[in-house]
Structure 1
């Protein structure tokens, strides 16, 4: 299928496991797609082009700041920038180092006072409790993207500072698992070098309903698991908090009060490749990056326009995991796969930002209010809006400091 393209002259160098040398200055010609292909193979090529463009733009910005050509603090450089990579590109040793750090984190003592989150038993639970308490303010709101970027970065830093992890936050590329199938991917094949397995098969599961207050329902098939994770590094993991709004495979939703009480249970998954292939494939991802020209359309396309019948790539990833707590919007960080999913959400945003970086990392890169679909009505999010992760991590930051991955507290890019 032919799509019109615009030609962009880039200063592009090959990127594999590290940024190119800052002394390299080659200038091959690349084309950027003007429309996302509906053919997943072609869309995958488009995503490769977009990734190379974003990587080079990030490199160029760091170089300009370093040379004084652009204003900035200059703390993030080509030499010290962290590089986040896709799970399958990590070596077996690197994958195990990551999951070992997560398990270490799950054994550390919680910092959140019991008066706020009575069920918190670990540092890992600090993150879940924070997400539960702020869910209605950080989805379909003006801070959806910045809040989750900050949240995921602090999680990465905690693994490094508190559990000796020396790598960086990997990401889950849904476009790849849409091709291989979830259970056949290195991410979820249940091996010691994976993020665990599917849940034990539960026969006779029915329909899952995706929706929200006042929103049309989307009917989804259940997956191929449903029970406790059976193998891999998280087969013995305990989920302590929730549920609060857990969608079950019989069309119902369950919750226990505010979800903050102690409710230990196994980690359950219901891997659903059908959802991955229908809502988070290469074409879906390319569409989110290419189609939107403003941040409102970008955020809504990513999360799914209410009433459109589309989960968006955000809901597509969460519901591809299935189970408990992944189908619970409040408690979803209870599945360690959450952080790889949101690193990919951040990677898509990062790529989109770098198509027009100056505009998309400033005031025009923000849209929305402080509440879910502005319910109840609340003030607009601005550059001065403060994001506070509570007892999970700190100190708080303003939105203006979280719009670039190489400014403010951040210093990372994606391959």
Structure 2
């Protein structure tokens, strides 16, 4: 079993090894054949946008499979880092709740000039420091395919308001999946996306910012922790519509609810699997935990 560690629990050498592996994905040629892809890293961005595209009725947000699909997506990310870039270390996550509670949302060294870089500059919100300074994206914004910079536009007050322990505890007061995932999805998940701003605020193309994966590892950990509190009732608890009801008319056959048999797909970047296979992070298909 591998253990995913908070960024501050990695040594400087380990942090650099991880960032080197991310850079490797950015430098490796695309393989997916998806629109506007130029690198293996952009394959991941294009996958997320494709699943969010209205042609697919947004089947990964505001749906019961939101958390299972993103857990599968994090598994794809980890697999590419390991199998195609030779990464052997821990996959890191960002403790957003701790930083929000401190009032200094951006205190983690992950935002440093030797890591992911900080906020965007006043000129176009482009990130000009860090390992991904002046990185050019080709997928997005939204459904467009244009060249643009990696952008961030921090809103500290609102990020803190959406990510603090009071909010997380409120969500965790729900003991069944349906109200719990709605709370997590709409407040700490969506709020941090929105208030990092820039690329992260673009629901379709947000994985163009490498911080996306730090954020979603954290969200996955919040789910993992919630499951661990009552594994008998929570480990395989799943519910919610399979289509984003706010973006679609009700299908002729009525709304369908997510079940353990629902198939998770990735445009053949990785073999399809089912929700059942990703519910238990130590169930065989997956084999990891968090510190």
Q: Which residue of 1 aligns with 2:109?
A: 186
Q: Does 1:149 align with 2:71?
A: yes
Q: Which residue of 2 aligns with 1:118?
A: 35
Structure 1 counterpart SS, 2:151: coil
Q: CA deviation at 1:177?
A: 2.3
Q: CA deviation at 1:287?
A: 2.4
Structure 2, unmatched stretches of 5+, are 53-57
**Cα distance in 1 for residues equivalent to 2:107 and 2:175:** 36
| Residue of structure 2 aligned with 1:389, choices 262, 266, 270 | 266
Q: What's the TM-score, normalizing by structure 2?
A: 0.92
Deviating more after overlay: 96-105 vs 373-382: 373-382
CA contact (8 A) 2:105 2:160 kept: no
Structure 1, unmatched stretches of 5+, are 1-80, 203-225, 245-257, 305-311
**Cα distance in 2 for residues equivalent to 1:165 and 1:173:** 22
Q: Which residue of 1 aligns with 2:55?
A: none
Q: Does 1:412 align with 2:285?
A: no
Q: Which residue of 2 aligns with 1:319?
A: 194
**Cα distance in 2 for residues equivalent to 1:243 and 1:191:** 25
**Cα distance in 1 for residues equivalent to 2:212 and 2:233:** 29
Q: CA deviation at 1:180?
A: 5.5
Deviation digits for residues 359-386 of structure 1, max 9, x if unmatched?
2122xx1111211137333422111111
Q: Which residue of 2 aligns with 1:264?
A: 147
Q: CA deviation at 1:127?
A: 0.9
Q: Which residue of 1 aligns with 2:219?
A: 345
Q: Which residue of 1 aligns with 2:274?
A: 398
Q: Max radius of gyration: which structure?
A: 1
**Cα distance in 1 for residues equivalent to 2:31 and 2:212:** 21
**Cα distance in 2 for residues equivalent to 1:187 and 1:82:** 21
CA contact (8 A) 2:137 2:147 kept: yes
Q: Which residue of 2 aligns with 1:232?
A: 130
**Cα distance in 2 for residues equivalent to 1:88 and 1:376:** 45
**Cα distance in 1 for residues equivalent to 2:108 and 2:222:** 21
Q: Which residue of 1 aligns with 2:91?
A: 169
Higher helix share: 2
CA contact (8 A) 1:402 1:408 kept: no
Structure 2 counterpart SS, 1:413: strand
**Cα distance in 1 for residues equivalent to 2:258 and 2:107:** 41
Deviation digits for residues 74-121 of structure 1, max 9, x if unmatched?
xxxxxxx110111112111111111111111011111122xxx33111
- Aligned positions, number: 280
**Cα distance in 2 for residues equivalent to 1:120 and 1:298:** 35
Alignment of 1:9-408 (within 5 A): 81-113=1-33, 117-135=34-52, 136-178=58-100, 179=102, 181-188=104-111, 190-192=112-114, 194-202=115-123, 227-244=125-142, 258-259=143-144, 261=145, 263-289=146-172, 291-304=173-186, 312-323=187-198, 325-362=199-236, 365-373=237-245, 375-377=248-250, 378-391=255-268, 393-408=269-284
**Cα distance in 1 for residues equivalent to 2:110 and 2:155:** 14
Deviating more after overlay: 340-349 vs 129-138: 129-138
CA contact (8 A) 1:170 1:340 kept: yes
